[in-house]
C-alpha cells in the first residue's frame, strides 16, 4: 500500500492567517486527495487533484501537486476557528484500492 506523509505534524496559527501543510509520497500516482478530521470524528473528503493537474482551488482551499518531487501542499486561506482539525493526504494509484493514511497535520486556529 502507498501512504502519504504530512508535514508538519502540528501547526498553530492566529485566526485570519493562512495555513500551509505539505504531503510527500513515494510512488507514482493518478490522483491525490486531502481529507479533514474534526476531533473524534470520521474523515471528510476535501479536494482531489489529478496527476495531470498542478493546482486546484475550492473555496478557501488551494492544492498544488508536483509529481516530479512527489509532493503536494494544501493552503487554507483566511483561517477560521472551524478549520481546527487534522488534515490527511492520500496518494492514489489505480489498481491499488487499499488507500492508507499517515499521521496527519494537526492544525489549531487560535482565536
Partner 1 sequence: DVKVTQSSRYLVKRTGEKVFLECVQDMDHENMFWYRQDPGLGLRLIYFSYDVKMKEKGDIPEGYSVSREKKERFSLILESASTNQTSMYLCASSLPTGGLLSGNTIYFGEGSWLTVV
Which residues bind to partner 1, rule: CB under 8 A?
1, 30-31, 33, 35, 40-45, 48, 50, 52, 88, 90, 92, 94-95, 97-104
Give whichever of 19 and 102 is closer to partner 1, judged by the CB atom: 102
Measured between alpha carbons, how far is 64 from 53 in angstroms, rounded to an integer? 8
Give whichever of 42 and 59 is closer to partner 1, judged by the CB atom: 42
Q: What is the CA radius of gyration of the chain?
A: 13
Minimal distance in Å, beta carbon 88 to partner 1?
Answer: 7
Q: Give the three cell numbers for residue 33.
A: 486527495
Minimal distance in Å, beta carbon 98 to partner 1?
Answer: 5
Q: Give the three cell numbers for residue 104.
A: 496527519
3-class state of residue 60 by DSSP? coil
Given a contact cutoff of 8 angstroms between Cβ atoms, the answer to whether 2 and 65 are in contact is no
Minimal distance in Å, beta carbon 78 to partner 1?
Answer: 25
Amino acid at each position: 500500500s502507498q501512504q502519504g506523509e504530512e508535514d508538519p505534524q502540528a501547526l498553530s496559527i492566529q485566526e485570519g492567517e493562512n495555513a500551509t501543510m505539505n504531503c510527500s509520497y513515494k510512488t507514482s500516482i493518478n490522483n491525490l486527495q486531502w481529507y479533514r478530521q474534526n476531533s473524534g470524528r470520521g474523515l471528510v473528503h476535501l479536494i482531489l487533484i489529478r496527476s495531470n493537474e498542478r493546482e486546484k482551488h475550492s473555496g478557501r482551499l488551494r492544492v498544488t501537486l508536483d509529481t516530479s518531487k512527489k509532493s503536494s501542499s494544501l493552503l487554507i486561506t483566511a483561517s477560521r476557528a472551524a478549520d481546527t482539525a487534522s488534515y490527511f493526504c492520500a496518494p492514489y494509484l489505480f489498481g491499488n484500492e487499499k488507500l492508507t493514511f499517515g499521521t496527519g497535520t494537526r492544525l489549531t486556529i487560535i482565536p
